[in-house]
Amino acid sequence: MKLFSGGLLGTYLLLSTLFWPSLSKPHRLPQTTPNNTIQQYLIPHNTQRSKLGLPPLKWSQKLEKYASWWAHQRQGDCSLIHSNSQFGENLFWGSGQDWKPSDAVAAWAQERSYYNYKTNSCAHNKDCLHYTQMVWRQSLKVGCSKVKCECGDTILACVYDPPGNFIGQKPY
């Protein structure tokens, strides 16, 4: 008799969890970045890539979630510390909150002037690896996120898959 009662109770609980939530409140879809914000990341990325005849990056919600998770890890100290994940990663810091996604991508794109394709190197004491990650031929997907730090500044993170910037390999 106990087994039968448990079976009925289990069936009741299963059915109530399947049907009751749908009757009591509407289902909410997980929040994602609005399409216009996604385009603020994609358009400047793909503009740089098209100048080199490279395929456009496609938006990845999986990478967006990872970028968001990592940016939130940095929210307390607003430090540009990389996650050392299996993805390629670009980070941007800006003073205050008035930073758009396109500002971060433009800053990375400006590093193009420091990159020497012939020697596959950056100019002395200059960074160009954000740029080379953006235009890495094998990178096909990107996801990005923006976070307001506790101090009021901004961090933007973009994550790329497959990653780039392999030593000894040119980006394109």
Contact 96, 112 (CB under 8 A): no
Strand partners, 58: 141
Q: What is the arithmetic mean of pLDDT over 13-29?
A: 35
**Residue-range domain boundaries for the chain:** 35-161
CA distance 41 to 116: 25
For 35-161, CATH number out of 3.40.33.10, 3.40.190.10, 3.90.950.20, 3.90.180.10 equals 3.40.33.10
pLDDT at 13 over 70: no
In percent, how much of the chain has pLDDT > 70? 81
Output the pLDDT for position 21.
35
According to DSSP, residue 152 is labeled S
**Tokens (6 digits) for 166:** 């392999």
**Tokens (6 digits) for 114:** 């420091």
CA distance 162 to 4: 53
Strand partners, 64: none
Q: Give 18's pLDDT tier (boundaries 50, 70, 90).
A: very low
Contact 59, 131 (CB under 8 A): no
**Tokens (6 digits) for 78:** 């607003």
Q: What is the arithmetic mean of pLDDT over 11-38?
A: 46
Q: What is the arithmetic mean of pLDDT over 13-40?
A: 51
Q: What is the mean pLDDT of the chain?
A: 86
